Amino acid sequence: MIRMIAALVGAWLLVLFMGPKVIPFLRKLHFGQTIYDLGPQSHQKKQGTPVMGGLMIVCAVTLLSLLLHPGAYLGKWDMILALLAVSLLSMLVGFADDYIKAVKKRHEGLTPWQKIAGQIVIAVAFSAYCYLHPMVGSKIDIPFFHVQWDLGIFYIPLMSLVVLFMVNSANLQDGLDGLLSTVTSVSMTGWAAMALIMMQAANELHQAEAVTSYASAALFALAVCGAAMGFLRFNRYPAKIFLGDTGSMFIGGAVVGMAMLTRKPLYMLLMNATLVASSLSVIIQRIYFKVTHGKRIFKMSPIHHHFELSGYTETQIVSMYACFTGILTIASVLSTWLN
């Protein structure tokens, strides 16, 4: 438990330490955000704000996860290594996109096909890994019911789609100052709590490897939580730095990694409902636009921009999302504990 608290506090302090050094450095390199005309006009003042700040979260989480690993490494089945792998590989796709935009000054970044191709490889590989993992397999837990759903061989294609959906959902939600960082801080406490509940259950059954695995997952989640909280010092409104695709895709990989390794991907519908809503609002908007030949169901998508154009301030939207995420996170943890 001491290691887990150290991961939470250490990641928070490490990002707080890096911020004042990283932000001026990125400004000096002219790694600034490009704000498009199609976005809310109030966002034009954010033009040039340093991007790729997610690298601070990446460094803090990676370093502390490896330094504070709660037990002996379990080789290829070690959960903390698997979580770092899916998060870092997802991050690399985002980093390439940010690099092309910020350094190469090609505002479109990676083409959609380049981005999706890299994500598909990661999604399929991680889904196959979970399918073969002795503590994961093809069964997933059903929220609020003490039952599991065995997907069989269909686990791999279905979970691959889940990985793609959630990583891109995190990217879409990174549209307001402090929004993704805040909901990540809240939801990751829930993922950590559920991993600890599973660790306790494994301990009662004297399953030593499972205890180490779930302890590792909890430590990783707390490191992400602490790093996100530290990043909020610089990312809250008005933001001094943005996560960029680098940070948002790392977070997306971390979320889906926690969900799949704990056999709880359906819990993302609750704890990460705002991420899901971001993608669904874009999908609904596009379908409605095509069917009605130019009409829109939302003022702008993702849906947080709809709220913004409806008169809510960025801080009000972030607070609303945080409260909503907090309530659903508590419900998810209670569901796991009661089961």
* Predicted confidence (pLDDT) per residue in 92-115, tens digit: 999 998 888 777 666 667 778 888
* Mean predicted lDDT score pLDDT of the chain: 90
Amino acid at 292: T
Q: Over 60: is that where the pLDDT of 44 sits?
A: no
Q: Over 90: is that where the pLDDT of 153 sits?
A: yes
Give the model's pLDDT for residue 235.
92
Q: Over 60: is that where the pLDDT of 152 sits?
A: yes
* pLDDT band for position 51 (cuts 50, 70, 90): confident
The Cα-based distances of 75 to 83, 136, 161, 225, 255 in angstroms read 13, 15, 27, 25, 22
Q: Over 90: is that where the pLDDT of 319 sits?
A: yes
Q: Could you tell me which residues are beta bridge partners of residue 158?
A: none
How far apart, in whole angstroms, are the C-alpha atoms of residue 270 and residue 283? 19
The answer to whether the bond into 134 is cis (omega within 30° of 0) is no
Least confident of 45-54, 186-195, 239-248, 302-311: 45-54
- As given in the structure block, the two tokens for residue 27 are 């400004």
Alpha helices in 2-78 (DSSP H): 2-28, 54-67
Q: What is the mean pLDDT of residues 164-182?
A: 93
Q: Over 90: is that where the pLDDT of 189 sits?
A: yes
Q: Over 70: is that where the pLDDT of 218 sits?
A: yes
Q: Over 70: is that where the pLDDT of 37 sits?
A: no
Of residues 251, 242, 101, 265, the one with CA closest to residue 170: 251
Q: Over 80: is that where the pLDDT of 219 sits?
A: yes
Give the model's pLDDT for residue 52.
86
Of residues 306, 296, 302, the one with CA closest to residue 281: 302
Longest dimension (CA), the chain: 61
Contacts 24+ apart (CB under 8 A), 332-339: 332/143, 332/190, 332/194, 332/267, 332/270, 332/271, 333/190, 333/193, 333/194, 333/197, 335/143, 335/144, 335/267, 336/141, 336/193, 336/194, 336/197, 336/198, 336/264, 336/267, 337/197, 339/141, 339/145, 339/146
Query: What b-and-e string marks burial along 163-189, b requiring 16 or more CB atoms within 10 Å of the CB?
Result: bbbbbbbbbbbbbbbbbbbbbbbbbbb
Give the model's pLDDT for residue 43.
59
The Cα-based distances of 116 to 19, 90, 127 in angstroms read 31, 11, 16
Q: Over 90: is that where the pLDDT of 72 sits?
A: no
Of residues 22, 9, 20, 41, the one with CA closest to residue 247: 22
Give the model's pLDDT for residue 115.
87
Q: Over 60: is that where the pLDDT of 41 sits?
A: no
Give the model's pLDDT for residue 205.
87
Q: Over 70: is that where the pLDDT of 80 sits?
A: yes
Give the model's pLDDT for residue 17.
95
* pLDDT band for position 59 (cuts 50, 70, 90): very high
Give the model's pLDDT for residue 164.
96
Q: What percent of the chain has pLDDT over 90?
A: 70
The answer to whether the beta carbons of residues 51 and 91 sit under 8 Å apart is no
Q: Who wins on pLDDT, 105 or 285?
A: 285
Q: Over 60: is that where the pLDDT of 38 sits?
A: no
Q: Over 60: is that where the pLDDT of 287 sits?
A: yes
Q: Cβ neighbours of residue 54 under 8 Å, at least 6 residues apart?
A: 91, 94, 231, 243, 244, 245, 246, 247, 248, 250, 251
Q: What is the mean pLDDT of residues 249-278?
A: 95
Give the model's pLDDT for residue 230.
96
Q: How far apart are the first and last CA of the chain?
A: 23
Cβ-in-10-Å burial (0-12, 13-18, 19+) of 143 comes to middle
The answer to whether the beta carbons of residues 18 and 60 sit under 8 Å apart is yes
Give the model's pLDDT for residue 7.
95
Q: Over 90: is that where the pLDDT of 45 sits?
A: no
Give the model's pLDDT for residue 33.
63
